[in-house]
Chain A
Amino acid sequence: KQEVTQIPAALSVPEGENLVLNCSFTDSAIYNLQWFRQDPGKGLTSLLLIQSSQREQTSGRLNASLDKSSGRSTLYIAASQPGDSATYLCAAFSSNTGKLIFGQGTTLQVKP
């Protein structure tokens, strides 16, 4: 059974810092992994999608990496801004079950 864990659960940083959010998954038989952003009371916005054959994906100040062998993914945010404050969720799509399983999320606060 696929389990996805995100550490830390919450993070508070001053504006301008570079930061890393961590995601680990137990079943390495994933098809792809997706990072989402969720603002309070809102839906999920897709940030990055990494296929199992890829090592990383970049979009603007965001960079996501994937290491299937160790069951880990990281989301790197460069030069953080207050507008980056939100909950970040990673989700692994399992090849075995055909299901997208979510972690509990990391709630990020970037202080001005």
Chain B
Amino acid sequence: DAGVIQSPRHEVTEMGQEVTLRCKPISGHNSLFWYRQTMMRGLELLIYFNNNVPIDDSGMPEDRFSAKMPNASFSTLKIQPSEPRDSAVYFCASRADREYGYTFGSGTRLTVV
């Protein structure tokens, strides 16, 4: 089991550019979560999917953020246009069912300059 796979590991981009973060959940897990981690706010849930359907996106900061899960093995988080305040580590996590714990990916460190 390769775990939750995120790409890229690091991303540096200029303000105003589009950024796409990618996640491959563990095979068989039916829930996928996107979190953002900053020093000031800690870990915040942005959005989560159940069986590829977005269930709760109330944590998405603004319309510049969007997430998709076209199939059970792939999800993207897109920021357009990016701003310096979006700089953070973005984590993807997946889970098999409510009784089971979450497995996190290694994260994508985003820097917007």
Contacts and interface: CB of A to CB of B under 8 A. Distances in A.
A43 B107 contact: yes
Contacts of A100: 33, 45, 102
Interface string A38-58: 000111111001010000000
Looking at chain A's contact residues, is the secondary structure mostly helix, strand, loop, or mixed? Answer: strand
Contacts of A49: 100-101
A99 B45 contact: yes
Looking at chain B's contact residues, is the secondary structure mostly helix, strand, loop, or mixed? Answer: strand
B104 interface: yes
Contacts of A51: 99
A60 interface: no
Contact of A34 (B91, B98, B102): B102
A53 B43 CA distance: 26
A63 interface: no
B25 interface: no
Contacts of A91: 43, 102
B42 A102 contact: yes
6 contacts: A32-B98, A32-B101, A43-B105, A49-B101, A89-B43, A98-B55
Interface of A: 31-32, 34, 36, 41-46, 49, 51, 89, 91, 93, 97-105
